[in-house]
Amino acid sequence: PLKPGRYELRIALDAAAARSGSVYTYVDVPNFAGQPLSMSGVVLSVVPPWPTAPAQGFPDLLPIVPTTRRDFAPTDRVSAFIRVYQKSNEPPQPASVKAQIADVNGRVVTSDVAALEADQFSRNRSADYRIRLPIDRLTLGEYLFSVEATRAENTARCDIRFRIANR
Alpha carbons 89 and 31: distance in angstroms, whole number: 13
Predicted local distance difference test score (pLDDT) of residue 2: 87
**What pLDDT score does 19 carry?**
82
Condensed to tens digits (0 to 9), the pLDDT of residues 61-105 reads 888 888 989 999 999 999 999 999 999 899 999 999 999 999 999
- Cα(159)–Cα(164) distance, integer angstroms: 17
Q: Is the pLDDT of residue 47 over 90?
A: no
> From CA 96, how far away is CA 154, in angstroms rounded?
11
Helices (H) and strands (E) counted in the chain, each on its own, are 0, 11
User: pTM for this one?
Assistant: 0.83
pLDDT of residue 55 exceeding 70: no
Q: Tell me: the pLDDT tens digits for 122-166?
A: 988 999 999 999 999 999 999 999 999 999 999 999 999 999 998
Backbone φ, ψ for residue 118 (5° rounding): -55, -40
Query: In the predicted model, is pLDDT for residue 54 greater than 70?
Result: no
Predicted local confidence at residue 52, as pLDDT = 61
Pairing of strands 77-86, 108-116: unpaired
Question: Which region among 36-50, 104-118, 150-164 has the lowest average model confidence (pLDDT)?
Answer: 36-50
